Structure 1
């Protein structure tokens, strides 16, 4: 596969990862299959000069088309060598599965995803996390019985999904929620700013006080301004897809 990830970038996405990742690289080196044994193996290489650098926080899950999870048959970290260590993730591979999605994550959530065509031997990235946390004062979300007003929250997880169409998933968690029986006059949503694309997001309540917004994104643009609000944007995010970052515009204005 030859995909090398910066350990420092992964720590930016999840500061809870070991400090040794700041000077490490994570390489997705190879995928092997054994059709007769109905087995597949991903070899990941942790490049680090620190022998004790822990690989256990890295999690890999595999899916067939349709998001059917493949059963994990075990993970093994080989003995560290000078500057690197192999980690082997093993999965059962049912007959007829030609395309697999691999998700690399940490204990707090996904970091990056790839689609692997086993027949054509093609690999491409299909999803990745953005670094950034944006506070949100409030949001109104329609419910089956009326309207939920959520307050004192933050967008804590940002994810770019690239197939079948590029879109932004933003997960926001709030401290309080108050429900009314009246419908929301206006529901909170994300929308692209400075764009001819008038698409707005959908919103889904994942739990009592957690909402995921999903916004379609245009192709061919790496820097976007995205507003969150009801009738007007009350929070604006600057999204840099190449740097995989998002920040509130007010902060961007004073940051060199």
Structure 2
């Protein structure tokens, strides 16, 4: 136990998992709030409580299967490529996905909405945590425990921080790219080819993954069409009306 606590690699994994939970888990609390917004006041706390319980339970199941699957040859390669895609997606302009989440007037309906939405939104979080934990079940459990207060309390603060400091999002994308590079070289098919190779190769792959995510993500973000501000549309419409007069 003491050796683990003194191992720098362990603490690097801990910090990676915390960062992943913060960056990828923030939207879940918003989903819970939206799903419960139409409930009577007396049932809102129950909806939030059981929604969080169901979401955490589902996340435990997903992480268990992720750990099992990542032990199969070639799947770490697939997982690494998926992490690269998730990192690139994180750097793209945010879509208004929350508008499609309907609030329910019934407690069971709200809980069902929360669990279904969390299943879809937590997949990237689960894969990233499983990759950062590198098969350590204790770190996986730690990642789940850390995600609970983030889901319940921390998301609004994190989202405001991301709005004010876009570099936080860039850091998150680079972190996922770093983990993806390490994950690709950790596949059972790739490892035999790395025997006898210099140790810096792993860090080179992680650095390449981080740079790749930042480069492609930034390039795609610049190419993405930017929505026209509503004020300009109204103003141009007003000018057109004056010309017709």
TM-score, scaled to structure 2:
0.24
Tell me which protein shows more helix as a share of its residues. Answer: 2
Task: Tell me: higher relative CO, structure 1 or 2? Use CA pairs within 8 A at least 6 residues apart.
Answer: 2
TM-score, scaled to structure 1:
0.23
